[in-house]
A and B are shown apart, each in its own frame.
Chain A
């Protein structure tokens, strides 16, 4: 009988674990998803933030507008930086994404997650300089204190989180299938995902991977 009790309690605790794994994400979106070890998974609500832009103003997703001054239909959140060769290789593609989609309701929101103490080339003043030189048309926010990227589960630059108007994560990964060379692009993942949202469909693929620079932490 003791054995039965033991097995039963084991089975119950296992099912409890299984259930908590399958539970929908909590409101702040920081709940672990089934697919990722930390951060948000597809379908989870992305956490909002208050971060300083290169124009010294503080922005949050709740206050960001699209190019027409309207509430966005979605947000192309991209963790990127000044220094990573892969971020640099994708810089023009990020500018192009904003120029193409911000007026359609999907602005790019770039966030620089590296610790400038480890990577001086990613200091706030260096970010301002880069944004000015390249005339960034999008917000370039500084994740000061590195509190936002872990909530999203970002690990590298560049890394895209496409959110819908409800801040639900709909696509996560690379801009396209050729992060290294713009000339080699065959599939534009982010554009494909936005087109899917516009058509009321589920992005496919919803997640992709690409080489990038690990986010620099002390």
Chain B
């Protein structure tokens, strides 16, 4: 709760109650390991959860995820099911989860799918692929307001990947062609 307070100092107790309600209602067994994995960290509370996928309506709701100041390295990839090069590099992010098993490295896939396709495309895709990283979705379509907040190096093209630990950040603006590409970046921020 103290962690929640840190990120949402202005939220009312009512909001907490609602959020808790969401968590308890949606944390069904069908949500595989994903929901369990995400809630044991200092994560911002989502606006809703769709079949185990936390959904953030606006960037400011998910923004704390980009500023977690601890000794964990975060690998955050922006993708969409409609983006072929994004889908092609997903196996490398699965491999990263395996490679850093037991280490303080977290792999997160932020889906930028069309919100109208969250249920029809994103959720079935995540279920069928059994993706190992934690998957969240961001619905904020006012890109010019938030792309620079992820990285000023980011043009808005996807795929794109941000790697950070504390205040050390590195941005990958191209498709990843090997798991080693990302591991080299992880070593640099650690």
Contact = CB atoms under 8 A, between A and B. Distances in A.
Interface stretch (A23-31, A50-58, A161-169, A206-214): A206-214
B173 interface: yes
B144 interface: yes
Given A156-B155, A178-B141, A214 B147 contact: no
A214 B142 CA distance: 18
Contacts of A178: 141-142
Contacts of A179: 141, 143
Contacts, number: 64
A213 B143 contact: no
B114 A174 contact: no
A210 B173 contact: no
A11 B143 CA distance: 40
B174 interface: yes
A54 to B, nearest CB: 24
Contact of A155 (B112, B142, B148, B157): B157
B57 interface: no
B54 interface: no
Interface in A160-218: 173-174, 177-181, 184, 189, 205, 208-216
B159 interface: yes
Interface of B: 82-85, 112, 114, 141-145, 147-148, 153-159, 173-175
A209 B148 contact: yes
What's the dominant secondary structure at chain A's contact region?
loop
A85 interface: yes
A181 B143 CA distance: 12
B143 A211 contact: yes
A213 B83 contact: yes
Contact of B141 (A37, A173, A181, A209): A181
A159 B141 CA distance: 16
Contacts of B83: 213-214
A212 B144 contact: no
Nearest to B159: A214
Given A155-B155, A156-B155, A214 B174 contact: yes
